[in-house]
Structure 1
Amino acid sequence: MPAEDTRPGAGPAAPDSGGQPQRPTRRFPRFTKDTARPEGGGRTARGDAPAPARQWPMLVMLSTVALGLLLCALDLFRVGTLLIGAALLAGAVLRWILPSVGMLAVRSRFTDIVTYGILGLAIVLLAMMAQPNPWLQIPFLKDTLHFTLTTK
């Protein structure tokens, strides 16, 4: 027989009026058996709507990324990559504005916005600086690259 835990509130839960065990303390249990749903992880449409309608923010973002990948495959690298970065930036905006975004919510709202925003901005900037004939030239990057690659 295992030794009984003598911590306050660690014993068996007292039943409530319906016979269901109550938690005697507000402390979290020592071992969790499941994970909490992410903030904003609820449905974006009512429950009787079809599944795609309930997850429209994620579907919009994934469709835009798929279109960007298709454009990259059709040899429109810069436009396709810009579209992928724009999809991530749109995901950040959707996560910021909408109270419930379905599966687009992965972590906390702040973390999702920062992650989508930084990755989207990085992809857009890298697409604009891609060679040949970059649309965006940052002078100090060329000097930095030249300095790190010279062996004089």
Structure 2
Amino acid sequence: MSAEAAGEFPAAAPLPAAEGTAHTAAREPGGRPPEITRGTARPEGGGRAAGGAAPAPARQWPILLVLAGALIGLVVTATGQFRAGTIIVGASLLVGAGLRWALTAVGMLAVRSRFTDVITYGILGAAILLLALMAQPDPVIRIPFLEDIIHFSVR
């Protein structure tokens, strides 16, 4: 019977100490070495959107564009124009989806994979835009089955 089959495992080798740290071979309960993250990979397209010579805000222009649009939409909403403000917020998220899909380097607009970011920004933007167009009073569009769901759930 081998040691593995008997439930006995050899002790793991200690992790090498990083330069300039006082790392010891302390182990967590159960004999596992402590988990140390050495680095994290950037998401695809997460590099600078402009060259390194450009000032910091210019390097992150895609996320700044989307955030500026959302901020403008929130200000418009706060001034009493609910429908117009939420349409601007939804449209800025759709712009973010388009930028993420079309550009290879979008800086901090890249959060996960390109596919995940485009789907997330697109669904959220479309949902906000759709709800803004359906808002009462005087909705711009009517979707009867959604009205039926709301009436059924409110009863």
TM-score by structure 1 length? 0.77
Of 125, 129, 150, the residue aligned with 1:124 is 129
Distance 1:88 1:31, change over 3 A: same
Q: Distance in 1 between matches of 2:78 and 2:115?
A: 33
CA RMSD of aligned residues (A): 2.2
Unaligned runs of 5+ in 1: 13-29
Aligned position for 1:36: 41
Unaligned runs of 5+ in 2: 1-10, 17-34
Q: Distance in 2 between matches of 1:59 and 1:139?
A: 37
For 1:3-152, list aligned pairs within 5 A.
Answer: 3=11, 5=13, 32-150=37-155
Q: Distance in 2 between matches of 1:11 and 1:70?
A: 52
CA deviation string 1:15-71 (max 9, x = no partner): xxxxxxxxxxxxxxx853322111111101110111111011111111111110110
TM-score by structure 2 length? 0.75
Q: Distance in 1 between matches of 2:126 and 2:74?
A: 17
Identical residues among aligned pairs (%): 61
Partner amino acid for 2:128? I
Partner amino acid for 1:58? I
Aligned-pair CA distance for 1:144: 2.4
Aligned-pair CA distance for 1:147: 2.9
Partner amino acid for 1:137? R
Distance 1:66 1:4, change over 3 A: closer
| Paired residues, number | 128
